């Protein structure tokens, strides 16, 4: 009788064949305006948790652009832990995001929470964010996919890698190949941080899927002091970019102030990341030159 030592990744994730890397499909590059996510360049997406005011958003957009961000983030529809917390500016927030894109030249990523808001959010956003709390809402995924906009799919806080890949598969099945995965921390028994940052999950995703993977150190950490370290870990794990919360005055922020970096902290983080990003580019180049094959092909 044959003794099977190893289950291949294709077998383990057999339900999501289209998201898996294969000899014919090594990586997907998602083009957003002039930005390529999943290509050689490490892409930073930065901005406030929520769009609050015009001055807050414009100041942040200009600052993060000068600091090297390529995409502006900001929520107009906010899924909050408390139903009594600020729920976002809605359409007014989308209009401010569009103005910030005009002024700064940055592409916009913003969350869509409801199927019926998809057409409106897709009209203003360059990338639709599907939040953690919505990751398994398949009807939202289907509608968002059919808008044709690239999708930033955040891992649910109690979602396994297989669950995340299933949701990505739903988007691909609905005719949209432009999926960017995002690790933002998962719930574990540990409560010292807001979530547990699954760096191994990033490394695994980079080995088994062809989709770009973005690290969100802000929602993983929950505390701004920890954000630069998690960002470094994200780069080292092989992420294609970062999604990070930045606010002109985090202590006055209407949401997620605890984990938001102020401008000086963002600049310091980006400066400290420089050598890590360089190392990443060098390693990517060397791997490409050596023709290193994806894990499931090798295994
Ligand atoms: C956010 O990006 O502000 C957000 C609400 O993220 P998550 O869905 O990961 O909690
Ligand atoms: Mn947030």
pLDDT for residue 13 is more than 90 = yes
Closest residue to atom 10 of ligand 1, CA basis: 132
Strands (E), the chain: 30-32, 35-37, 43-47, 71-73, 107-111, 127-130, 151-154, 179-183, 213-215, 241-245
Cα 8 to ligand 1 centre (Å) = 32
* Per-residue model confidence (pLDDT) at position 35: 98
Structural tokens at position 32 = 């957003």
Is the distance from CB of 156 to CB of 136 less than 8 angstroms? yes
> How far apart are alpha carbons 248 and 166 in whole angstroms?
37
Instruction: Tell which one of 46, 75, 153 to mutate to probe ligand 1, the residue whose CB is within 8 A of the most ligand atoms.
Output: 75
Euclidean distance between the first and the last CA atom of the chain, given in angstroms as a whole number? 21
Nearest to 77 by CA among 262, 255, 216: 255
* Per-residue model confidence (pLDDT) at position 295: 54
* Per-residue model confidence (pLDDT) at position 210: 97
pLDDT for residue 293 is more than 80 = no
What is the pTM assigned to this prediction? 0.96
Closest residue to atom 6 of ligand 1, CA basis: 131
Ligand 1 and 194: CB distance under 6 A: no
Kindly give, in sequence order, each residue whose CB lies less than 8 Å from that of residue 164, ignoring residues fewer than 6 positions away: 135, 153, 155, 156, 181, 205
> How far apart are alpha carbons 196 and 113 in whole angstroms?
24
Closest residue to atom 3 of ligand 1, CA basis: 49
Ligand 1 and 75: CB distance under 6 A: yes
Nearest atom, ligand 1, residue 133 CA: 8
Q: What is the pLDDT of residues 33-66, one digit of tens each?
A: 999 999 999 999 999 999 999 999 999 999 999 9
> How far apart are alpha carbons 167 and 156 in whole angstroms?
10
Cα 206 to ligand 2 centre (Å) = 24
Kindly give, in sequence order, each residue whose CB lies less than 8 Å from that of residue 1, ignoring residues fewer than 6 positions away: none
Tokens 């930045």, located at residue? 246
Give alpha helix (H) positions in the chain: 9-12, 54-66, 91-104, 118-124, 138-146, 161-173, 199-208, 217-221, 227-237, 263-290, 295-298
* Per-residue model confidence (pLDDT) at position 241: 98
* Per-residue model confidence (pLDDT) at position 299: 37
Nearest to 262 by CA among 277, 240, 244: 244
* Per-residue model confidence (pLDDT) at position 296: 45
> How far apart are alpha carbons 137 and 156 in whole angstroms?
10
* Per-residue model confidence (pLDDT) at position 10: 83
Ligand 1 and 184: CB distance under 6 A: yes
Closest residue to atom 1 of ligand 1, CA basis: 49
Buried b (16+ CB within 10 A) or exposed e, 140-170: bbbbbbebebbbbbbbbbebebeebbbbbbb
Beta bridge partners of 214: 182, 241
- Looking at the CA of 74, name the nearest ligand: 1
Q: What is the pLDDT of residues 74-89, one digit of tens each?
A: 999 998 888 999 999 9
Is the distance from CB of 92 to CB of 47 less than 8 angstroms? no
Cα 50 to ligand 1 centre (Å) = 10
Mean pLDDT value across residues 170-174: 98
Helices 54-66 and 263-290 pack at an angle, to 10 degrees, of 40
Ligand 1 and 219: CB distance under 6 A: yes
> How far apart are alpha carbons 44 and 59 in whole angstroms?
17
């Amino acid at each position: 009788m044959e003794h099977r030592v190893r289950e291949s990744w294709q077998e383990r994730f057999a339900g999501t064949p289209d998201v898996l890397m294969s000899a014919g499909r090594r990586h997907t590059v998602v083009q957003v305006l002039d930005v390529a996510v999943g290509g050689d360049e490490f892409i930073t997406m930065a901005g406030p948790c929520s769009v609050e005011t015009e001055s807050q958003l414009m100041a942040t957009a200009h600052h993060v652009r000068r600091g090297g961000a390529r995409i502006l983030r900001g929520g107009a529809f906010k899924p909050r832990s408390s139903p009594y917390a600020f729920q976002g500016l809605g359409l007014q927030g989308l209009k401010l995001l569009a103005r910030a894109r005009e002024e700064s030249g940055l592409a916009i990523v913003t969350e869509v929470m409801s199927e019926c808001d998809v057409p409106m959010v897709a009209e203003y956003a360059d990338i639709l964010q599907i939040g953690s709390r919505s990751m398994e809402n398949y009807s939202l995924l289907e509608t968002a996919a059919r808008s044709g906009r690239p999708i930033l799919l955040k891992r649910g806080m109690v979602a396994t890698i297989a669950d995340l890949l299933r949701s990505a598969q739903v988007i691909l099945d609905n005719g949209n190949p432009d999926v960017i995965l995002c690790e933002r921390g998962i719930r574990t028994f540990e409560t010292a941080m807001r979530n547990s940052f699954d760096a191994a999950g990033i490394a695994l995703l980079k080995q088994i899927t062809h989709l770009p993977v973005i690290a969100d150190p802000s929602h993983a950490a929950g505390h701004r002091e920890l954000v630069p370290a998690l960002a470094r870990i994200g780069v080292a794990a092989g992420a294609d970019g970062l999604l990070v919360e930045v606010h002109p005055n985090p202590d006055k922020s209407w949401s997620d102030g605890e984990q938001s970096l102020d401008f000086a902290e963002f600049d310091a983080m980006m400066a400290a990341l420089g050598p890590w990003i360089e190392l990443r580019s060098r390693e990517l180049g060397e791997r490409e030159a050596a023709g290193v094959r994806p894990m499931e092909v090798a295994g």
